[in-house]
């Protein structure tokens, strides 16, 4: 994929994990205990749900002698053979909301570590919010190396959730539709997005969301890329669709403003031009990469080789 800055790693934040998730170890108590007690075991140390960076890397520490495996989640085994665990949250006052610190980690450590942090954050958030069974209301306990919870009462098993979200560009005659939500930073525009609902395909969700939010009908939906988004546990599914026309009817409760953006306007925004008509989303977000993908596909000659995002 061509980009507006070839020196950058062109993947969204939280993408690019190098961990082997070792499912056979998760489901085998003996293998799990051996991995936890082994000399290569390491703990990913977080401050609540916040990342801890030291010298350009996430903080990993050896497992303490008195630590219990049931109090930890096995994230996986890294290329060096280290089994990476993360302690479950024990405090009740943890801030579960995303913070600038949790987003800024993408600029401080390698992409594979950002992805590891994203997985850890999503899992810990899920455990913290699901101490009780949704079937009978009894308490649940972590099982399968922290990748499930089992009810003490009815033995029902519960698994971490991932919420699919479509994020999409509608294209019409060489322009794309961008919008902004209420409360966004002044001047920020991005692709429209919305949750996939039960019984929908990705294509149907794209079409429905664009019609609900902008009043346009689309066809020929095509998938571009995806991104796990750990705030708390979404999977962003980036798509491009073709609009039948460019007449907009905005849902004012969802969208503050929207406009059809051409390649020149987008190029200026993504290059950080102070005279650009809007500011682009951050490169951490899959929206930036979706815009970059579209710009490279429709107007490669307009992409300057030395521009920065």
Span 146-171, average pLDDT? 97
Distance between start and end Cα atoms, the chain: 15
Is 3's pLDDT higher than 50? no
Question: Taking the domains of the chain in order of start, what are their residue ranges?
Answer: 1-114, 163-300
Going by pLDDT thresholds of 50, 70 and 90, the confidence category of residue 299 is low
Separation in Å, CA 259 to CA 73, 85, 169, 234, 242: 45, 46, 12, 26, 15
Residue 92: the pLDDT is 62
Grouping H, G, I as helix, E, B as strand and the rest as coil, residue 265 is helix
Q: How far is CA 26 from its chain centroid?
A: 23
Beta strands in the chain (DSSP E): 42-44, 53-54, 57-58, 60-62, 72-77, 83-87, 140-143, 148-151, 157-158, 163-172, 175-180, 192-195, 218-229, 234-243, 257-261
67-106, pLDDT tens digit by residue? 999 999 999 999 999 999 999 998 766 777 778 899 999 9
Encoded tokens for 147: 């990748």
User: Average of pLDDT values for 151-167?
Assistant: 97
- Residues, the chain, total? 309
- Binned at pLDDT 50, 70 and 90, residue 298 comes out as confident
Cα 158 to chain centroid, rounded: 22
Residue 269 has pLDDT above 70, yes or no: yes
For position 300, what pLDDT does the model report?
56
pLDDT attached to residue 114? 97
Cα–Cα nearest to 142, from 215, 223, 71: 71
How much is the pLDDT for 302?
43
Query: What is the average per-residue pLDDT within 162-191?
Result: 97
* Whether the predicted pLDDT of 5 surpasses 60: no
Structure tokens at 267: 């190029």
> In this prediction, what percent of the chain has a pLDDT beyond 90?
88
- pLDDT band per the 50, 70, 90 thresholds, residue 164: very high
With 80 as the cut, is the pLDDT of residue 253 above it? yes
- The CATH number of domain 163-300, selected from 3.40.190.10, 3.90.79.10, 3.40.50.300, 3.40.50.1440: 3.90.79.10
């Amino acid at each position: 994929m061509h980009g507006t800055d070839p020196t950058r790693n062109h993947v969204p934040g939280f993408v690019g994990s190098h961990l082997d998730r070792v499912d056979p170890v998760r489901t085998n108590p003996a293998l799990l205990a051996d991995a936890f007690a082994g000399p290569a075991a390491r703990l990913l140390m977080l401050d609540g749900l916040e990342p801890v960076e030291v010298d350009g890397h996430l903080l990993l520490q050896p497992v303490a002698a008195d630590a219990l495996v049931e109090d930890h989640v096995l994230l996986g085994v890294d290329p060096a053979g280290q089994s990476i665990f993360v302690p479950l949250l024990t405090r009740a006052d943890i801030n579960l909301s995303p913070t600038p610190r949790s987003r800024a980690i993408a600029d401080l450590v390698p992409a594979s570590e950002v992805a590891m942090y994203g997985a850890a954050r999503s899992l810990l958030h899920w455990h913290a919010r699901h101490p009780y069974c949704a079937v009978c209301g009894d308490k649940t306990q972590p099982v399968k190396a922290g990748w499930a919870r089992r009810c003490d009462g009815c033995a029902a098993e519960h698994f971490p959730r991932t919420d699919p979200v479509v994020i999409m560009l509608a294209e019409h005659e060489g322009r794309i539709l961008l919008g902004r939500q209420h409360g966004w930073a002044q001047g920020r525009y991005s692709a429209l997005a919305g949750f996939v609902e039960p019984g929908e395909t990705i294509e149907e969700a794209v079409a429905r969301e664009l019609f609900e939010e902008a009043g346009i009908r689309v066809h020929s939906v095509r998938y571009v890329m995806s991104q796990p988004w750990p705030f708390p546990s979404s999977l962003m599914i980036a798509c491009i669709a073709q609009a039948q026309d460019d007449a907009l009817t905005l849902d004012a409760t969802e969208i503050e403003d929207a406009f059809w953006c051409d390649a020149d306007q987008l190029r200026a925004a993504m290059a950080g031009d102070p005279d650009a008509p809007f500011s682009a989303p951050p490169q951490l977000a899959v929206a930036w990469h979706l815009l970059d993908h579209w710009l490279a596909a429709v107007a490669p000659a307009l992409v300057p080789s030395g521009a920065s995002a």
